[in-house]
Amino acid sequence: MSIFLVDEYKDMEPYVPGEQPKDKQYIKLNANETSLPPSPNVFEAISKKQIWNMSYYADPHCHEFRKAVAEVYGVSENEVFVGNGADEVLSFVLMSFFRRGMKIYFPDITYGFYRTYAKTYGLDMEEIPVKDDFSIAINDYMDLDGDIIFANPNNPTGLTVAVSDIEALVRKKPDRMIIVDEAYVDYSGETCLPLAVKYPNLVVVRTFSKSRNMAGTHIGFAVSCKSIIDDMNKIKFSFNPFNMNSVTMAAGIAAVKDTIYMENCVSEIIKNREYFSNELKKINFHVIPSKANFVFCYNDAIDSSDLCDRLKKEGILTRHFADKLLTKYLRITIGTRQEMDVVLVAIKEILSNADGY
């Protein structure tokens, strides 16, 4: 640590993303990405023209890209904010609408970055315990005195909150901002995105990292009412006007227009999720019923951290969280049918050598 780091950051624990080892070829099921390729349109969009374009700054207003996103999702361009991944979009939300000491609520089991952001922005965070079955009970949020963020479907459980419940919350608290992170929503089918342009206190955040198979380009966007999006742009132009580069935006435009390809990929992953969950249950795994592109599961015969390590030795990356609320479980991203079959064979082999089996 240098002598220059500001005091409040000295004890900060940065978010730890799923590892990206390059020492060998892994079946990568630890970061909810996918081995499916981006839309064929993206391969066409990244051309020599994009390389020539690199000489100039990209459009800081991201007009073409926002227009394309808006058209696909049935909203207007000025109701869309685009950023360098959902992570950056969420960061702009917090930077724009929260000041130090302000209250923010989120579930105690959710995307770990919310805790990190709260610390980065000096917020007074309060974690609301999920129910015993890991579900989020909307009634626990109805009478809170601060803004709220949650992921729907939630990570790492894959459980969802009904859109009607979200609408009830948004209506009950018109002076509170409700941020719904829909990173995995394409795998669940029920979105509250249309509500984000109906109510002035709802922000919906999406990503291209999951269902669009484009984690490497790191694209995210928010949909909300015009005044909220205008505010976020004001802050963006005071921080980093060129947060989106031209190559990424060209790829994003091509991808977002290819709804059919995205839907086909999503149905394949959903099919594989159901298949994999059932196969795990047959070998005595407890599997939380997931509406995302991952499953959260455990088997009494083996410690999940041990299973994670042993799978890694077999060339399969999964995600184990040390947090005491999560440590019993292993999160396994859903890949292709072939990948899931390799994982099942490896798990069965590991279990057959496990003491408790």
Residues at the contact surface with ligand PMP, assessed by CB under 6 A: 32, 85-87, 111, 151, 155, 181, 183, 207, 209, 215, 218, 220
Rounded (5°) CA angle 163-169-175: 135
Please tell me the number of Cα atoms within 13 Å of 196 on its side-chain side.
28
- The minimum distance between CB 204 and ligand PMP, in angstroms, equals 12
Reading the block at residue 297, the tokens are 């599961």
CA distance 77 to 65: 9
CB of 115 to ligand PMP, least distance (A): 13
- In terms of CB distance, is 27 or 215 closer to ligand PMP? 215
Q: How far is the CB of 192 from ligand PMP (least distance, A)?
A: 15
Closest to ligand PMP by CB, 73 vs 111, is 111
Q: Which is nearer to ligand PMP, 106 or 302 (CB)?
A: 106
Dihedral pair phi/psi, residue 104, rounded to 5°? -140, 140
CB of 218 vs ligand PMP, minimal distance in Å: 6
The SS3 assignment for 137 reads coil
One-letter amino acid for residue 151 of the chain: A
| Closest distance of CB 154 from ligand PMP, Å | 7
Q: Smallest gap, in angstroms, from Cβ of residue 136 to ligand PMP?
A: 13
How many angstroms separate the CA atoms of 197 and 354, rounded?
52
Nearer to ligand PMP, 210 or 310 (CB): 210
The alpha carbon of residue 115 and the mean position of all alpha carbons in its chain are separated, in whole angstroms, by 14
Whose tokens are 């997931």? That residue is 290
Q: Which is nearer to ligand PMP, 188 or 299 (CB)?
A: 188
Q: Which residue lies nearest ligand PMP, judged by its C-beta?
A: 85
213 Rama sector, left if φ>0, alpha if ψ -120 to 50, beta otherwise = left
The residues, any chain, with a CB within 8 Å of residue 46's CB and separated by 6 or more, are 247, 250, 251
Residue 341 Cβ vs ligand PMP, minimum distance, rounded to whole Å: 25
80-83 and 220-223 as β-strands: parallel, antiparallel, unpaired? antiparallel
Contact partners, residue 29, CB within 8 Å, separation at least 6: 294, 316, 317, 318, 319, 332, 333, 334, 335, 339, 343
Q: Between 128 and 344, whose beta carbon lies closer to ligand PMP?
A: 128
> Of 252 and 347, which CB lies nearer to ligand PMP in the complex structure?
252
State in angstroms the smallest separation of the CB of 208 from ligand PMP. Answer: 7
Closest by alpha carbon to 195, among 212, 171, 172? 171
For residue 40, the minimal CB distance to ligand PMP (Å) is 22
The residue (of 218 and 312) whose beta carbon lies closer to ligand PMP is: 218
Q: Is 107 left (phi over 0), alpha (psi -120 to 50) or beta?
A: beta
CB count within 10 Å of CB 48 equals: 7
How many Å from the N-terminal Cα to the C-terminal Cα in the chain?
46
Of the two residues 207 and 277, which places its CB atom closer to ligand PMP in the complex?
207
